[in-house]
Amino acid sequence: MSPAARRLLLAGAARRRCLSTDAAPSYPASAQLPRGKRWDAVVIGGGHNGLVAAAYLASAGRSVAVLQRRGVLGGAAVSESDLVPGFRFSRCSYLLSLLRPAIIRLSINEATSSFTPCLDGRYLLLGPDAELNYSEISKFSKKDANAYPSSLESYILVGSEEQLEKFCKLMDFVIDSAPPELRQDFHASMVDRMKDRVDKSAFWGNLLRHVMQQGQKNMVEFFDLLLSPASKMLNCWFESEVLKATLATDAVIGTMAGVNTPGSGYVLLHHVMGETGGQRGVWAYVQGGMGSVSSAISKAALEAGVQIVTNAEVSQVMVNKTTGKVEGVALADGTEVHSPVVLSNATPYKTFVDLVPVNVLPEDFLSAIKTADYSSATTKINVAVDRLPQFHCCKDKSPEGGPEHMGTIHIGSESIFCILIWNFCLFSGMEEIDVAYREAAGGISSKRPVIEMTIPSVLDKTISPPGQHVINLFVQYTPYKLSEGSWQDSNVRKSFAERCFSLIDEYAPGFSSSVVGYDMLTPPDLEREFGLTGGNIFHGAMGLDPLFLMRPAKGWSDYRTPVKGLYLCGSGAHPGGGVMGAPGRNAASVVLEDLKAK
């Protein structure tokens, strides 16, 4: 099927059937599945990547069943409306940018890039408009205003069309390709082995061509960003602490890492290389919340013939002890679903440690999976408020919302003064972020958390009552395990939420009193509710060592696994986390290639 045909399949306007991403009535999995049917493929997990993989497989004529543990479809890309009556929250993921444009087109509300209020009455507002950026940054540093267009961050966002096109072609090629693993298959014919080597050689040849097109100067800058701590790059580019701290949040968000951690520059790159509405580096709200992404993909999957089953928890991957091949999956209620192909949208740890039977996997592979970094520093707080927060640094107050309310709002990351007994001490913005990280690394939830705040209801009136608003707080740093106390203690949870609200009060007085209800997801909550090992939203760390040919483990980056017929299709596989869809689509391509070879 041509790429154009596949895009039409997933983006077609006509939808004959629909599966809601809100909680559905609970029916036994056995009642939702045809009795005794043998499927061509079974997908564990109804997150967006699992749904993408299923849709592509079904479009190729394969019979596919998706098994979703929760009654809510969508994994972490989900909208839920039963948390606070009258409000609809994007409960986990909350912004769209990384979703591959070839997969599906959605109704979006474009957001300004970022707004950083300061305690001294100033603020920094950034967006895709180069003139606005120059004017805003000049308030803090004329030097930085002149330097910003030549930084790699801005190069991705507003660089020349020719440069941008070359860079994007390189990144798109890597993201949309299965890593070129060379694995000796003694059962394959000589022709198939030769074809495999030719295909892998073609990959490296194409990659080299894209690299050569960049030119040496751009590639040196690219590798410098890739390998360096974000602090090194930002200190090299800029002098203004507000600007550096604003950009630094993209380098640490979702990670248990600081701005001084080597490789955090790649995380910065990962968060600005997406595309929304044809524009690079622009983040947007999806109409109706992030569940609309999963809903749209599920509709396409259903239309292609996929069977989607909710409230179906997989307890084990069934493996034939004699052949070592997959035979399907067993559900928690005892139902067996038979298939020679299983794709797991669960984390690598959940897949290989919890679902694959013992004594099936090679020890070195299992050890690599167990010792991988699944640590998390993330807490998501979904807040319902009875009025729009008003920032004291903005003179023009609008109850309907201004540009400061429409993008990502960075709270608590610019410079502050602290008193240490006898001396005054100035923390720069990036130093403050690093202090918060080091507190969490020691098991302490940050005293001054770093908060990314968004208010989607300013642009989307369908998710909150009139005059009231939905607010997302993406908070760092919070350790999975506290050195004192426990996240299960309601007093500990309440204290941390109030700490976050009080911090926002410093910038938007009265915020705490506007809160009418909230839902908080700490790292253990994210693990329990959504199956995210360690609470890691990327299914595993996004440092340099677990990327590309090393994701999820050395020698197994091409979505295949040591168990014949078992594949990974989630964020724990290349190219990693975020609402991207690339792991699902790439995995489906590999599965179809293997089925065709058989």
* Nearby residues of 134 by Cβ (< 8 Å), 6 or more positions away: 145, 146, 148, 149
Beta-ladder partners of 425: 418
Q: Which helix (H) or strand (E) holds 279?
A: strand 279-280
Top pLDDT among 152 and 576 is at 576
Q: What is the mean pLDDT of residues 446-468?
A: 94
- Has residue 112 got a pLDDT over 90? no
Beta-bridged to residue 453, according to DSSP, are 409, 473
* CB burial of residue 360 (10 Å; 0-12, 13-18, 19+): middle
Highest mean pLDDT among 12-26, 91-105, 159-173, 540-554: 540-554
CA distance 494 to 270: 33
More confident call, 252 vs 51? 51
Q: What is the pLDDT of residue 187?
A: 62
- When pLDDT is cut at 50, 70 and 90, the band that residue 440 belongs to is very high
Cβ–Cβ under 8 Å, residues 60 and 345: no
Distant-in-sequence, close-in-space partners of 568: CB < 8 Å, separation ≥ 6: 343, 344, 348, 351, 552, 559, 561, 583, 587
Work out the average pLDDT over 88-109. Answer: 81
Annotated domain spans of the chain: 3-78+290-373+536-597, 126-273, 375-530
Beta bridge partners of 469: 385
Q: DSSP secondary-structure letter at 354?
A: I
- The encoded tokens of residue 51 equal 């749904």
State pLDDT tens for residues 532-567.
Answer: 999 999 999 988 889 999 999 999 999 999 999 999
pLDDT tens for each residue of 127-137: 878 888 899 99
- Check residues 17 and 161 and name the one with the higher pLDDT: 161
Residues 180-239 have pLDDT tens digits of 997 656 566 777 778 788 888 999 999 999 888 888 887 887 787 778 888 888 888 889
What would the pLDDT profile of 354-383 be if each residue is shown by its tens digit? 999 999 999 999 999 999 999 998 999 999
Residue 404 corresponds to which tokens in the numbers above?
């400061």
How large a percentage of the chain has pLDDT more than 90?
A: 59
547 Cβ neighbours under 8 A, 6+ residues apart: 266, 574, 575, 576
Residue in 474, 561, 558 with CA at minimum distance from that of residue 523: 474
Tokens of 181: 């693993």
Mean pLDDT of the residues in the chain: 86
CB atoms within 10 A of CB 414: 28
Residues of the chain with pLDDT > 70, as a percent, come to: 85
pLDDT (0 to 100) of residue 419: 38
Q: What residues are paired with 518 via a beta bridge?
A: 383
Instruction: Assess if CATH 3.40.630.30 describes domain 3-78+290-373+536-597.
Output: no
Residue with tokens 């109409």: 287
- Polymer length of the chain: 598
Judged against a pLDDT cut of 60, whether residue 569 lies above it is answered with: yes
* 3-class secondary structure, 315: strand
**Model pLDDT for residues 393-420, shown as the tens digit of each residue:** 998 777 888 999 998 999 987 654 443 3
